Amino acid sequence: MTHTLPKPASVHPLEPFIDRLLSADALLPHSDTNVLEVVGILKSYGVVLDAYSKNLIYIADHQFLVLFPFFKYFNGEVSFGKLLKHWWHDRINFEYAEYCMKAMLWHGGGKMDEYLDSEEFLALCRTATTAKTKSNPLVRSINAVFPDFLTEQVRQLAYYSALGQFWRVMSDLFIDLSDAYDAGKVNTIPEVVAFIKAGLVAAASNPITYSVNINGQTYDLMPKSAGLTFLMDVAVPYVEAVFFRGAPFLGTVSYNAQANQIPAEQGQFQYGALYADPIPVGGAGIPPTLLMQDMRHFLPDYLTEFYLASGRGLDDVRVKICQSFQKSMFCVTSASLQGLLPHAADTTNPQEQVANRDFLAAWMDRLMTSRLDVVQL
């Protein structure tokens, strides 16, 4: 009896990168400089994500249906000194965390997005919103005129919580990576990717839940029974929304439909971290610049020295931070794709080998216009 082997797929223009990923390598080439930049910037990013995560969860838990949350960035600790620092912008820019949350909410996708449209969620939402607004006739009347008003607010708060939970894991993972590098346990880009992949796999089935306390009673909005998990229901939609799609930056392109400067379909958006041009990102008015500004405050000494010794020193440090951050995101993408392979990377089954290559080829199609070629230099 003869067996027909699957027909080999045509060679993809980015075939070398597919080979890299299947051989436990990375989209970013190894060099001592790349390791220094990636680990150093992820150390800083981990510190920033710690603050972002705590604030997002605080807003979800303690600013539930507060329609004018003037002090939402204060984590419940309002003082005149903190207010002055806030006005002077001597603070973490939590606006960027909300930018990422809104990108996830807008692009949707995945089981969480489906759940937030389900009858189960709507019933839980009605119970919680009724309890919250029973003594607020103004809000109740607004919701009566616009029945989806409060529901949409709760959906957004669910994304606040989910992203906060996701970033909690990633913050700890990046800090642990930095510690391993300092201890000499991580020395190459493939080892960086393997470390991140192991962390993602370990947290893959962590439940994502959300409940609020109203007048001493707990109301579930995303109960554990909904079956939402860290990797597939939050991490993957996050990569899709923030690494790949993103949102067009105001002032850089026209939102006029006749100008045709923005794709008509959300799925065609290419404004994510893997496509970003570090030059405009380093300028005022571009949301990721807020993140670069935040990371600037927590750079490890060795990375600051590296920036000082190159080009314009720290005069263009936000641009340099963005370049390093982009390299690190290609490493995180490498770990994510390797973790999501439909079959083991070293499988000897021909059908499974083809399935793995087809899976990676679909992602490589999307990376064709990214800055993948630039980070190879």
Q: What is the 3-state secondary structure (H, E, C) of 230-253?
A: HHHHHHHHHHHHHHHHCCCCECCE
Task: Give residue 261's pLDDT.
Answer: 92
Residues of the chain with pLDDT under 70: 1-10
Instruction: Parse the chain into domains and list their residue ranges.
Output: 15-376
Residue 298, number of CB atoms within 10 A of its CB: 17
Query: CB–CB of 360/18 below 8 Å?
Result: yes
Question: One-letter amino acid identity for 140?
Answer: R
Task: Read off the DSSP letter of residue 188.
Answer: S
H/E stretch holding 168: helix 149-182
Task: Give residue 311's pLDDT.
Answer: 82
Q: Which residues of the chain form beta strands (DSSP E)?
A: 210-214, 217-222
DSSP bridge partners of 217:
214
Token representation of residue 19: 């080979």
Task: Give residue 6's pLDDT.
Answer: 53
Token representation of residue 283: 């300028």
CA distances from residue 95 to 49, 88, 101, 278 in whole angstroms, order as listed: 13, 15, 10, 19
DSSP bridge partners of 214:
217
Please state whether the predicted TM-score (pTM) of the whole model is above 0.85.
yes
Residue 231, number of CB atoms within 10 A of its CB: 20
Query: CB–CB of 219/128 below 8 Å?
Result: yes
Token representation of residue 108: 């949707």
Residues with Cβ within 8 Å of residue 116, at least 6 apart in sequence: 155, 158
Token representation of residue 352: 């499974």
Task: Give residue 209's pLDDT.
Answer: 98
Torsional sign, CA 160, 164, 170, 175:
positive
Q: How far apart are CA 239 and CA 225, in angstroms?
A: 25
CA distances from residue 136 to 65, 67, 130, 131, 201 in whole angstroms, order as listed: 11, 12, 10, 10, 45
Residue 236, number of CB atoms within 10 A of its CB: 18
Question: One-letter amino acid identity for 371?
Answer: R
Task: Give residue 369's pLDDT.
Answer: 94
Q: What is the DSSP string of 52-64?
A: HHHHHHHHHHHST
* pLDDT, tens only, 286-296: 899 999 999 99
* pLDDT, tens only, 30-81: 999 999 999 999 999 999 999 999 999 999 999 999 989 999 999 999 999 9
CA distances from residue 158 to 101, 117, 176, 290, 315 in whole angstroms, order as listed: 10, 12, 28, 23, 39
Residue 301, number of CB atoms within 10 A of its CB: 8
In degrees, rounded to 5, the angle at the alpha carbon of residue 339 between the alpha carbons of residues 192 and 121 is 120
For the chain, the C-alpha Rg in angstroms (whole number) is: 22
Q: How far apart are CA 292 and CA 9, in angstroms?
A: 41
Question: One-letter amino acid identity for 270?
Answer: Q
Q: Is 207 helix (H, G, I), strand (E, B) or coil?
A: strand
